Amino acid sequence: MPRRPRVARGEDRAIRAVVPSPLQLDGAAQRVRDEARALGLSGWARSADDGGLAVHAEGTPTAIDALIAFIAEGVAHGGAAGVEIEEVPLEGHEQFALRGVSAGAFVVKEHAASTHHFDMRLEVAGVMRSWALPKGPSLDPAVKRLAVEVPDHSIEQNGFEGPTGEGGVVLWDRGLYEQGGRVAWPEALSRGHAVFVLHGEKLRGGFALQRTRPGAKPQWLLVKRRDEQARPASDVVAEQPASVLSGRTLEQVLAAARRRDPAAPGAAPDRP
Ligand code: MN
């Protein structure tokens, strides 16, 4: 059963804390997470690229004060003057998460079968959760792309590329992803609104999957979040068609299969 969403109470407050890099020790984000969870707080902690630490915490004033003291003494070791604390609006987080750590692998395949489509897959609990995207992903936040949920695939298939019985597949993008949003991962997927950050070769930054139609073949919309990696008015599928594995396009894979076997199925050479 999904946990009941935490309901913010009237007196709750939220802070952002930043600890500059010279004061931080290894594992600080994990220790802040553990302390925040013990205090009943929600939010996140992230180790910054420069080694510093950033924290968003929300909950009761007493617990917030206790976490501030923990950060000043337990993380900054009394160097509290170097810790920046800012009161910020409540965001409604339902968990205290560790940010900036991988949740698993992701791949995007371009697939010619009975239809031409893209397959986006996210590693969740030892399998690849999968969505078929008729038009593929987009880096334009104004574009919503249909994503039809399909059965899980095995992780072992992630690296496959080449001709198949009914066409062919190329590995269009790959990398790691991290959870985002305010809801625990992967519970966010079962609730039908999942935010995640892709660290791929073509797809980078925050994305949201919103389930719009439940049922036997649930339909979702994939949308790029507005961040530094967003590319308004771009068409990444058209601009970067080559496989990240081989550099080949799907057309080249299909053409090579046809040369070996002229009767092989696949898209016609002049497919638009
Ligand atoms: Mn497919």
**66 and 132 in a common domain:** no
With cut-offs at 50, 70 and 90, classify the pLDDT of residue 193: very high
Which residue among 84, 99, 114 closes a domain? 99
**Are both 140 and 93 inside the same structural domain?**
no
Whether residue 112 is found in the same domain as residue 232: yes
Task: Choose one of 56, 83, 99: the last residue of a domain.
Answer: 99
How many angstroms separate the alpha carbon of residue 263 from the centre of ligand 1? 22
204 pLDDT higher than 60: yes
pLDDT tens-place string over residues 137-169: 999 999 999 999 999 999 999 999 999 988 999
Separation of alpha carbons 193 and 212, rounded Å? 9
Residue 266 lies in a domain: no
**Is residue 108 domain-shared with residue 240, that is, in the same domain?**
yes
Fill in the DSSP letter of residue 156.
Answer: G
Average pLDDT (158-187) is 94
Please check whether residues 250 and 130 belong to one and the same domain: yes
Same domain, 133 and 73: no
Same-domain check for residues 156 and 203: yes
- Could you list the residue range(s) of the whole structural domain that residue 67 is in? 13-99
Give yes or no: residues 117 and 236 share one domain.
Answer: yes
Alpha helix (H) residue ranges in the chain: 28-38, 61-70, 187-191, 236-239, 250-260
End of a domain among 99, 116, 139?
Answer: 99
For 211-270, what is each residue's pLDDT tens digit? 999 988 999 999 999 999 999 999 999 999 999 999 999 999 999 988 887 776 554 444
Give residue 192 CA to ligand 1 midpoint distance, Å: 21
Same domain membership, residue 187 and residue 124: yes
Give pLDDT, residue 36: 97
> Residue 45 C-alpha to ligand 1 middle, in angstroms?
36
Task: Judge whether 70 and 35 are in contact, CB under 8 Å.
Answer: yes
Q: Who surrounds ion ligand 1 at CB < 5 A?
A: 111, 119
39-88: per-residue pLDDT in tens? 999 999 998 777 788 999 999 999 999 999 999 887 877 666 678 999 99
